[in-house]
Structure formats: C-alpha cells, structure tokens
Structure 1
Amino acid sequence: MSASLFLASASPRRRELLASIGVDTVVGAVNIDETPRPGEAPGDYVLRLASEKACAGGKLTLLPALGSDTAVVCDERILGKPHDKAHAHEMLRALSGRQHQVMTAVAVIGGAGLLKTCVTTQVFMRDITDAEIEAYWATGEPQDKAGGYAIQGLASVFVERIEGSYSAVVGLPLFETAQLLQRQDVPLWKAMP
C-alpha cells in the first residue's frame, strides 16, 4: 500500500493518530526555527509553525503534506519542553491545581492550497505535590514534552478533566484534521480492512 500523506514531523504520536483514522504516511522531519516572535500570540505561533512545517514538507514530496504544532499555554505564556529538572518542576508547579490551554494547529498543503486550523482545549489539573513531580521526572516521560507532561502517559493521573479535543492535547486534533485531509482528497480509512 502506498502512502497518501507526507507527515512533516518526527512525532510518533502524530503518526499513530493518523494511522488510527486509516491514513498511511511517509514521515520526514523538517527543520524550521521554532522561536516565538516578539509579541506573537500563542495561537498565531502554533498556526505559523504548522504552516511552515507543511510548506517545508510540501517541497520534499508530491503528496499532500501535513504540519502540526502543539503549545501548552498558561497565563498567555507558552510552556515549551523542559530544559532540565528544575524547569520541569517550575512548569508543573504552575499547572498544578488549575486550568491551562493546549493549542494545537494543523496545516495541510496540497491541491487545495494551504489549509489550516487551530484547536484550543482546556485542561484542568489537580494539585500535584512536589514529591509527585520528583517521581514523575524520574520516569523520564516529561523530558521531551511540551509543558513537561504527556496526557496520554503517566501524567494522566494529574488531569481532572478536559474541555475540548483529547487527540489535540496528544498532538493532532483528529476531527479537524480529517476535515482538512478530505478537502485535500486524502482518503481516510485507507488502511482499514
């Protein structure tokens, strides 16, 4: 079976999410500058990065190309991936016992041009103790995750509830992504029996 989409991302989670709706992908990471611009709003930031990734991927293939970016946002501040244990601790303390937003943008370039959208999900975390943060850091899971946690992993025990798209928090809003893919004539369920 041949791929129907170029995924401009090295994220195994995004590849798995696309596979879950039957989209077979070719994966190729693209290198773009992910530095936020001065005064750039978080939603604009993730939309810009998703678009730049899709466009960079589109230059590498004849297939439609998908780019995506996710940001954990607390008090209008983008929380990136933790630099070290102290940074992860600081981020998880900031998220503890309160609500924050996860913004995920997706862009697909193909025959219909560049199509894009951004999905914001509200995430409500319970109070997290310092001992839990220490133990969570020791698992290794938070080290390469935006906001220092993975909702689909061990940190799921910290999340009281969400309002919005679970798959967007994991890394790709499937409902909205499917709509964009269909507009680009990328078939869904292609790999399904």
Structure 2
Amino acid sequence: MTTLVLASASPARLATLRSAGIEPRVAVSAVDEPAVLRAAGAVPPAQAVLLLAQAKARDVAPGHPGTLVLGCDSMLELDGEVLGKPADAAEAADRWRAMRGRSGRLHTGHWLVDARDDGRDVGGEPVEVGATSTTVVHFADVTDAEIDAYVATGEPLWVAGAFTIDGLGGSFVRGVEGDHHGVVGLSLPLLRDLLARRDVTVTALWTLLPS
C-alpha cells in the first residue's frame, strides 16, 4: 500500500486530503523558511512557494523511507507584494483594508519526494517532482467593522494572506478563478498530476471511503 506523508502542520491541508479520501501521516518540518528565501534571493512568488515546499518535503523525507512525502507552502500576491502570515492583529487588519474590494493571486507550491524503494533514480536518490498552483481570489468590499470582528477571532493570524476560504473568511471572498483547493493550501488536481508523474494513481491512496 502506498503511504503519503504530509510535511505540514496545516489543519486545512489535512482536512482537504481527508475530504478526498486520503489519510496521510503528518510530519511537520523544521525548515527555517526565512533562511530558505534569503538564500534564494529575489525570486517570483510562484517560485518562492515552490522552493519552500521543496525544502519542507526534503527535510521530512529521510525519516519516512518507503513513502511519498508532500510539502506545500502558500503566499498571497497583491500588487506584486508577497503576503504571508501576518505578524499580529494590527497587521492582519491593515492587510484586509488593503485587500477589500480587490483581487490577489494565491500561489501554493507543491513538492513530492518519492522515497519508495522503487522510486529512486539510478544514483539511489529519491525522485522529486513539483509544481505551483495559482488561483485568482476576488475579495468582498468588507466594512471596517467586519474586518475588526474577523481579526478578533484570531483566524487570519494563522494563514497566508490573512484569510481562509474554508472558514469564517469564506464570507469575504466573492469568488475565485482557478482551483479553490489551491486557496485552501493544497490543490487536489495538481497532487493527482504529481502522483501520475510517479506512476501512482490518486485512487491508490484512498483509505477514507464512505461506508
């Protein structure tokens, strides 16, 4: 049986996989994300999230031989500026005042390390594949009172871009162009494509089938 390891502490990513019938192992990486980005220098947001996803998957993979290890990372791009998790409530509120009534691009990097015995290259190293999902997000023209109430819940402090689409913040998203799973933090269609590149069907990972 093929086992998927999710190299992420994100409850939303875990819930997304479970909703798709996949029960992964969870192993949180110890990657220093700012250090990875400093080493990369000036790179576009879509590449930055891919580098972070790669670093997370590579950090976790050695401890999970015989599995497929998936790393992910997300960033919101607004007017060319990259917005990760806000530092505090004040920054989250400022972000929302800048985002309301406008549109941003949510980039989610995915990196898959094939640590199975038959997934290694001729040199014995795990084969790796990766790609980035990009979705345009249209934000509602929310009021100051709505922003203050949302920030007070604490939800926007834990996610890239200071919003969720699958929680309280879903009321403030007018629509998306692209895969909405990518906005949650893990694109299921893209995962299927990456698995296929390693000759694995997504159905081979189904364990949580409805009774």
TM-score (norm 1): 0.93
Match of 2:170 in 1: 156
Work out which of the residue numbers 90, 100, 103 in structure 2 matches 1:96: 100
Q: C-alpha offsets along residues 44-86 of structure 1, whole Å, 9 cap, x if unaligned?
A: 1001011111111111111111100111111111111111121
Whole-Å separation in 2 of the counterparts to 1:66 and 1:126:
32
Q: C-alpha offsets along residues 80-119 of structure 1, whole Å, 9 cap, x if unaligned?
A: 1111121001111111111100001111110161110101
Whole-Å separation in 2 of the counterparts to 1:132 and 1:162:
20
Match of 2:206 in 1: 189
Whole-Å separation in 2 of the counterparts to 1:143 and 1:19:
24
Which runs of 5 or more structure 1 residues have no equivalent in the other structure?
A: none
Q: Secondary structure at the match of 1:92?
A: helix
Q: Give the CA deviation at 1:141.
A: 1.1
Work out which of the residue numbers 62, 84, 89 in structure 2 matches 1:85: 89
Match of 1:16 in 2: 15
Match of 2:64 in 1: 61
Q: Give the CA deviation at 1:20.
A: 2.1
Q: Secondary structure at the match of 2:205?
A: coil
Work out which of the residue numbers 180, 190, 194 in structure 2 matches 1:166: 180
Is structure 2 residue 85 aligned with structure 1 residue 75? no
Question: Does structure 1 retain, via aligned residues, the 8 Å contact 2:103–2:137?
Answer: yes
Q: Secondary structure at the match of 1:59?
A: helix
User: Please, which moves more after superposition, 175-184 or 161-170?
Assistant: 175-184
Identity %: 39
Q: Give the CA deviation at 1:183.
A: 3.2
Q: Give the CA deviation at 1:3.
A: 6.9
Whole-Å separation in 2 of the counterparts to 1:7 and 1:154:
24
Question: Does structure 2 retain, via aligned residues, the 8 Å contact 1:178–1:188?
Answer: no
Question: Does structure 2 retain, via aligned residues, the 8 Å contact 1:79–1:146?
Answer: yes
Q: C-alpha offsets along residues 25-52 of structure 1, whole Å, 9 cap, x if unaligned?
A: 1111011121233422101100101111
Q: Secondary structure at the match of 1:48?
A: helix
Aligned residues: 192
Q: Give the CA deviation at 1:156.
A: 1.1
Match of 1:46 in 2: 49
Whole-Å separation in 2 of the counterparts to 1:85 and 1:190:
39
CA RMSD of aligned residues (A): 1.6
Whole-Å separation in 2 of the counterparts to 1:57 and 1:16:
20
Is structure 2 residue 24 aligned with structure 1 residue 25? yes
User: Please, which moves more after superposition, 152-161 or 30-39?
Assistant: 30-39
Q: C-alpha offsets along residues 139-184 of structure 1, whole Å, 9 cap, x if unaligned?
A: 1211211111111111111111110011100010000102212333
